[in-house]
Amino acid sequence: MNGTAARAATLTTALCVGAMAGDVHAAGYTETEYPIILAHGLSGFDALLGVVEYWPGIAGALEKDGAEVFVTEVSQFNDTAVRGQQLLEQVEEVIALTGADKVNLVGHSHGGLDSRWVAAQRPELVASVTTVGSPNQGAELATVLRDILVEDSFSESVLAGLAGGLGSLLALLSGTSNPQDAVGALDALSGSGMAEFNAAYPQGLPTTWCGQGDPVVDGVYYFSWTGTRSVTNFFDISDAMFALTSLVYSEDNDGVVGQCSAHLGTVIRDDYKQNHLDEVNQLFGLVHWWSVNPKTLYRQHANRLKNLGL
Ligand code: CA
């Protein structure tokens, strides 16, 4: 334990005396045994905002009551093995830096798949994997976008039907330095790409469609949650995009990932009133006003990990 963590532990002991049981504001509430790593998804956000801002307010909400939190950065658009290797190197850095034996990986969207890859390769370094809005069984939207990006298979009828939402996403994708990486990323996230990935890395996957997976595999705890609302906040410009992209799906979805595709390990819940960006408190905290706040979910999960000794 490093100096900062040791100081935090002392402070926690002192403050916990007066804390009510179950009080989510209690000191030590998020004080996990192992550091928490937040692993981002497929996104152009880094150019605009930086990786910490991918998770606005979330790292701070976790740190406030004791968690040690690290935010990693991998290639925005690439396949899972490339991103996973980059994440693994940062996991090793966090372990070297903190002296911890393992880490808790919490990944949003593609970041959840990167986390699964790391846990499959090096289970001894991973206490838990939690996927939030991750396309564990693939995302139909990725298949549609990939086909449009690849000029030869340009689908005019699909584009006409979904012009607004796909236009925004394509602008995001085409802003990458190497568009081929975007195609690679979308290949990885498509149904066929994920079937291949899952055959190689089945840890924590449900064995029946929309079921739960094994809670613990190779000593690694697996969890997941997701939202299933595309439109949640009138003032968030990204909601218009999700209103359109959600039409690609025949099942409930968060605008990018289907409800059942998000299942992995212990399913904490699969129908929060959140769209794909609400799941990481975007844009800028514009989420559903009357539903549970995304930051609260991350805090509750840290407490869940803590209570499991993770
Ligand atoms: Ca939002």
pLDDT of res. 2: 39
* CB-proximal residues (5 Å) to ion ligand 1: 236, 277-278, 286
Q: How close is the Cα of 273 to the center of ligand 1, in Å?
A: 10
Q: Which of 65, 214, 239, 254 is catalytic?
A: 254
CA angle 285, 291, 292 (to 5 degrees): 75
Give the residue among 53, 59, 14 at the shortest CA–CA distance from 302: 59
**Residue tagged 């236009």 (tokens):** 167
Paired sense of beta strands 69-72 and 216-217, if any: unpaired
Q: How close is the Cα of 62 to the center of ligand 1, in Å?
A: 20
d(CA 103, CA 72) in angstroms, rounded, equals 12
Average pLDDT for the chain = 83
pLDDT of res. 151: 52
Q: Which of 40, 110, 263, 276 is catalytic?
A: 276
Question: Is 254 a catalytic site residue?
Answer: yes
d(CA 204, CA 210) in angstroms, rounded, equals 13
**Residue tagged 């991973």 (tokens):** 126
pLDDT of res. 134: 97
Q: How close is the Cα of 223 to the center of ligand 1, in Å?
A: 23
Q: How close is the Cα of 56 to the center of ligand 1, in Å?
A: 12
Q: How close is the Cα of 287 to the center of ligand 1, in Å?
A: 4
Give the residue among 71, 90, 88, 94 at the shortest CA–CA distance from 5: 94
Question: Is 263 a catalytic site residue?
Answer: no
Q: Which of 43, 109, 224, 261 is catalytic?
A: 109
pLDDT of res. 41: 86
**Which tens digits make up the pLDDT trace of 123-134?**
999 999 999 999
Q: How close is the Cα of 214 to the center of ligand 1, in Å?
A: 31
DSSP, collapsed to helix, strand or coil, labels residue 283 as: coil
**What does the pLDDT profile of the chain (310 residues) look like in tens digits?**
333 333 332 223 223 333 333 446 678 999 999 999 999 987 645 444 555 678 989 999 999 999 999 999 888 778 899 999 999 999 999 999 999 999 999 999 999 999 999 999 999 999 999 999 999 999 988 887 777 766 544 444 444 444 445 555 655 555 555 555 777 788 888 888 999 999 999 999 999 999 999 999 999 999 999 999 999 998 988 888 888 888 889 899 999 999 999 999 999 999 999 999 999 998 888 999 999 999 999 999 999 999 999 9
Q: How close is the Cα of 239 to the center of ligand 1, in Å?
A: 6
**Residue tagged 């584009």 (tokens):** 159
Q: How close is the Cα of 242 to the center of ligand 1, in Å?
A: 10
Question: Is 214 a catalytic site residue?
Answer: no
